[in-house]
Chains A and B, each alone.
Chain A
Amino acid sequence: MRNFLRVTAALVRDTFREAFARLVFWAFYTLSTLVIVFFLFLLKIDMVEGARATISVFGQGSNRARDVQDVITIFQAGTATFLYTWGMAIAVFASAGLISCMFEAGRIELLLSKPVGRAHLLLGRYLGTLLVVTLNICYLVVGVWIILGWKAGVWKAAFLWTIPATVFLFAILLSVIVLLSVLFENAALSIMVSFALMVLSPILAQTKLAERLLSAQWSRSLWKALYHIFPKGYDIGKMTLEIVRGRTVESFLPIWSSALFAVVVLGLSLRVFSRKDY
């Protein structure tokens, strides 16, 4: 067990070292820092009449006082949306190379020659990459949460649900990156397919619209099937915003089905990797 943990720690540590040796990860953290700086220095919240506040950005703002709870919810939802779209895109872009470089000729042979199971090697890298991105997400979300809480005196813990939700979506996309890297050892292809899944998600989520627009039964069934098969990033994002806004979530099905997708894809990656010659 100790040996297992030692090897896992080594794989995670190596992923961190490699991530921070790459410029794209520093860009990722710089972007998060810029968002934090925006909330820290450029956003001004003036409390008036107790539960109401006026907002100014870059020194420009309206004098109309708003409910402070609403103000904080808007900013938190905005941050969550930013993280879920741009943050995710950068995370995918940054981490695809981190997975595929493991399979470079001359490097993979040495890794495989060590007394470590192939599944352990792959999952160690997966975990390391996930932790690097999780760290950045935590840095951004907790940073924004503390600044907004400190400026407005409103500590809405629901915003912190953005962390597991975003990490969860990234974990799904990372499983796709892992599968494609194992199959084709190509970072560019992994990025393209992951982006395609992100774009596809809000389109497939329009099931009611598809019901109306598609005339043939088979096409409607195909749409539904695709919606159920592929990860539901859009639905999970909507759920996160509902939680941030303090509303109740009706169904957790998108989470379970997306988790199943990730497990199947990751399982497939492990199977292919365990049988592949290098």
Chain B
Amino acid sequence: MTPAIETRQVTKIFRTRWRRKEIRAVDGVSLRVEPGVIYGLLGPNGAGKTTFVKMLLSVVRPTSGNARVFGCDVSISWARDKIGYLPENHRFPTHLTGAEMLDFYAALSGMRTGERRRRIAELLDALDLSRWAGVRLKRYSKGMLQRLGLAQALMHSPSLLILDEPSDGVDPVGRLRIREILKELEARGVTIFINSHLLNEVEQLCRQVAILDRGRVVLTGKVSELTSGQSYCLRSPNVPEQLAETVKARASGFAATDGMYEFHFLDRNSANAAVDLLRGQGCVIDSLLRTRSTLEEVFMRTLNA
């Protein structure tokens, strides 16, 4: 099956004005995103996420390597026919009304007038913006602009949706609505590529993620696999203080409430060593559970490594 996104050793080197200094924003990134999945791109600030996304849209030209969308080289303009894009710090023309803005960008995607009218009504309704259709964008709040931006990306019913911080500035209700829409799109087979800082949101939405650091992919995988069975939680009551300190030193996390001590370990060996220590001193083990890591923990672990 042709992948929705396929990059091979994509590299982008920015040069300063007088070419004295090179900045390697993206360094040999090879990614493969299968059709129909929600894929998250994570990374700290300056990791090269936005540059990578821009290369998928040919807004930035790669220094080397190539990027393909549904098998087409992204430098060919019609390859972008299948892509809907919501940029991070978008600046929509404020002289337009919501409906005019959607109409303009949809016309650039080659949609016919009748089709555009139908989709505008449909999407404004879905994103709860119908009442604002005829209002100029300068009167829109940040969250409303974000929702309108999403409507813009969806206008031509793209097969691939690239969203850069989609729920930035959106209130919790709007965020939930966006999540619902994205899940509906996933069910319809649309590939969604999300670049976000909100790890909790990525975890809820994405099936697969890639973590980018200093322009390189440092981790890729399915969210379910990356977050499952990674850490252990050991509960033991009335642990002597000195022993508790020794175990705590080996744990990644610790909590004590009403005489119940809770130790968190990142791997099985550390958990076993703690059990040996506690049992050796005659302490009772209340429970030992394999816990699920959050994506945030995976993210932090990966970057610290």
Q: Shortest distance in angstroms between B169's beta carbon and chain A's nearest beta carbon? A: 13
| Docked pose: A105 CA to B88 CA in angstroms | 10
Given contacts A106-B90, A109-B87, A113-B83, contact A6 B110 (CB under 8 A): yes
Known A113-B80, A115-B110; judge A105-B91 contact (CB<8 A): yes
Which chain A positions have C-beta within 8 A of B92?
Answer: 107, 110
Q: Mark interface residues in B92-103 (1 if CB within 8 Å of A CB, else 0).
A: 110110001000
B95 touches A107 (CB 8 A): no
Q: Could you say which residues of chain B place their CB within 8 Å of the CB of A14?
A: 93, 96, 104
Q: Per-residue CB proximity of A74-113 to B under 8 Å, as 1/0?
A: 0000000000000000000000000000001111111111
Question: In the complex where A106-B89, A278-B60 touch, is A115 in contact with B78 (Cβ < 8 A)?
Answer: yes
Whether a CB of chain A sits under 8 angstroms from the CB of B177 is no
Contacts of A42 in B (CB 8 A): none
Give the distance in Å from the alpha carbon of A107 to the alpha carbon of B93 in the complex.
8
Q: Contact flags (1/0) for A247-278 with B, using CB distance below 8 Å?
A: 00000000000000000000000000001011
Give min CB distance, A183 to chain B, whole Å. Answer: 12
* Nearest-neighbor residue (CB-CB) of A114 within chain B: B108
Q: A residues 1-40 with Cβ under 8 Å of B?
A: 3, 6-7, 9-11, 13-14, 17-18, 21-22
B68 interfacial contact with A, CB 8 Å: no
The answer on a CB contact under 8 Å between A18 and B93 is yes
Contacts of A104 in B (CB 8 A): 91
Binary flags per residue of B37-60, CB closer than 8 Å to A gives 1, else 0: 000000000000000001001111
Chain B positions 133 through 163: 1 when the CB is less than 8 Å from some CB of chain A, otherwise 0: 0000000000000000000100000000010
Distance in angstroms from A157 CB to nearest chain B CB is 38
Q: Please indicate the chain B residues that have their CB under 8 angstroms from the CB of A107 in the complex.
A: 90-93
Question: What CA separation (Å) do A51 and B65 show in the bound complex?
Answer: 78
The answer to whether A116 has its CB under 8 Å from any CB of chain B is: yes
Residues on B with beta carbons closer than 8 Å to the beta carbon of A13? 104
**Contact count A vs B, C-beta below 8 Å:** 82
Any chain A CB within 8 A of the CB of B235? no
The contact size tier of chain B is: 20 to 34
Q: Is B291 an interface residue (CB 8 A)?
A: no
Given contacts A18-B93, A277-B60, A278-B60, contact A110 B100 (CB under 8 A): no
Which range contains the number of A residues in contact with the other chain?
20 to 34
A117 adjacent to chain B (CB < 8 Å): yes
Residue pair A7, B91 in contact (C-beta under 8 Å):
no
Bound-complex Cα distance A104 to B91 (A): 8
Shortest Cβ distance from residue A20 to the other chain B in the assembled complex, whole angstroms: 8
Q: Is B16 an interface residue (CB 8 A)?
A: no
Chain B nearest Cβ from A11, distance in angstroms: 8
Provide the residues of chain B in CB contact with A275, threshold 8 Å. 61
**Residues of B with C-beta under 8 A to A18:** 93, 95
Question: Which chain B positions have C-beta within 8 A of A115?
Answer: 77-81, 108-110
10 additional contacts (CB under 8 A) given A7-B110, A109-B57, A115-B81: A3-B110, A10-B108, A107-B90, A110-B105, A110-B152, A112-B58, A114-B105, A115-B77, A115-B110, A277-B54
6 cross-chain CB contacts under 8 A: A6-B107, A13-B104, A14-B104, A17-B96, A115-B78, A277-B54
Q: Which 4 A-B residue pairings sit nearest by Cβ, starting from the closest?
A: A21-B95, A106-B91, A10-B107, A113-B85
* Interface residues in chain B, defined as those with a beta carbon under 8 Å from any beta carbon in chain A: 14, 54, 57-61, 77-81, 83, 85, 87, 89-93, 95-96, 100, 104-105, 107-110, 112, 152, 162
